[in-house]
């Protein structure tokens, strides 16, 4: 069985003076390619810490993390940045778009860091913007776009380097209910094309789009189960 993510006995401690505060306690999780996984848990459960480790934004205090066949557990910051840009596409709650750049330029950014030449950057960025149905908005800046359109730009940016994993952190947190469903439809479509998606959310209705739900409590996996009640695709009126 081919796993894209292997977390083996992962722990993460924070230190407040001489006091050790465990955020994660012996987490072991495997995820296969093309899985659609939701990570849930109340505030303080460790889901954000786990997301940061999976996304190579932070490293564990102990344990091993194998990402797409590479042990990233002991990598230095510059190595993590390189593998993060290559292997992971991020979709954040706050969009994280640069305000002075157009949608097209925002989508091109990960390819700039990857050293892709301008012609290929432009071609690929146009392609993914078209795939998220924003062709007529690619020359608009973020303040000229709705919240849903900005999140579509963020999804396009996450896809542009053809990463192994799309990591979506509360991707609908700043959106109204209808727009949230539109974005989840888009992520469903992205998954159907063969992408691995990891969704971090506190909303049950959003988690229902995933095919597997992992629930954390106090830094440990409380439940890890297949979702037998997958949300049906919403059709806009």
Residue 1 placed within a domain = no
Length of the chain: 237
DSSP 234: P
pLDDT at 234: 61
* This model's pTM is above 0.75: yes
The rounded distance, in Å, linking the Cα atoms of 35 and 194 is 9
- What are the tens digits of pLDDT across the range 131-189? 999 999 999 999 999 999 999 999 999 999 999 899 999 999 888 888 999 999 999 99
Domain count, the chain: 1
Residue 109 placed within a domain = yes
pLDDT at 11: 95
pLDDT at 23: 94
Dihedral sign for Cα atoms in the order 156, 161, 162, 167: negative
Residue 4 placed within a domain = no
Residue 20 placed within a domain = no
Residue 11 placed within a domain = no
SS3 94: coil
Mean pLDDT, the chain, integer: 92
Residue 138 placed within a domain = yes
pLDDT at 68: 93
Is pLDDT of 236 > 80?
no
pLDDT at 237: 42
Torsion angle in degrees (nearest 10) through CA of 129, 135, 141, 146 = -90
- What are the tens digits of pLDDT across the range 33-60? 999 999 999 888 999 999 999 999 999 9
The answer to whether residues 92 and 154 touch, using CB atoms and an 8 Å cutoff, is yes
Residue 5 placed within a domain = no
Q: What percent of the chain has pLDDT over 70?
A: 97
Is pLDDT of 93 > 90?
no
Q: What is the 3-state secondary structure (H, E, C) of 163-207?
A: CCEEEEECCCCCCCHHHHHHHHHHHHHHHHCCCEEEEECCCHHHH
- What are the tens digits of pLDDT across the range 180-235? 999 999 999 999 989 999 999 988 999 999 999 999 999 999 999 999 989 876 65
Residue 211 placed within a domain = yes
Which is nearest to 128 in space by CA: 84, 166, 161? 161
DSSP 133: T
The rounded distance, in Å, linking the Cα atoms of 50 and 32 is 17
CATH of the domain at 124: 3.40.50.300
Could you tell me the residue range of the domain that residue 169 belongs to? Answer: 32-63+76-226
């Amino acid at each position: 069985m081919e796993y894209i993510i292997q977390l083996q006995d992962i722990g993460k401690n924070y230190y407040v003076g001489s006091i050790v505060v465990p955020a994660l306690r012996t987490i072991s999780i495997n995820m296969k390619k093309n899985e659609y996984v939701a990570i849930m848990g109340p505030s303080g459960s460790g889901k954000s810490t786990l997301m940061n480790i999976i996304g190579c934004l932070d490293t564990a205090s102990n344990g091993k993390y194998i990402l797409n066949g590479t042990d990233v557990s002991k990598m230095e910051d510059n190595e993590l940045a390189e593998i993060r840009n290559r292997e992971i596409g991020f979709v954040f709650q706050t969009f994280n778009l640069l305000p002075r750049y157009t949608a097209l330029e925002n989508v091109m950014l990960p390819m700039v860091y990857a050293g892709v030449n301008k012609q290929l950057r432009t071609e690929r960025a146009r392609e993914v913007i078209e795939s998220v149905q924003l062709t007529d908005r690619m020359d608009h800046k973020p303040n000229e776009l709705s919240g849903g359109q900005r999140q579509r730009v963020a999804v396009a940016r996450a896809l542009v380097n053809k990463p192994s994993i799309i990591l979506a952190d509360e991707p609908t947190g700043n959106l109204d209910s209808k727009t949230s469903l539109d974005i989840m439809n888009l992520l469903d479509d992205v998954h159907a094309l063969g992408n691995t998606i990891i969704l971090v959310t506190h909303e049950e209705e959003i988690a229902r789009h995933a095919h597997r739900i992992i629930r954390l409590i106090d830094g440990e996996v409380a439940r890890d189960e297949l979702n037998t009640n997958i949300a049906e695709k919403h059709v806009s009126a």
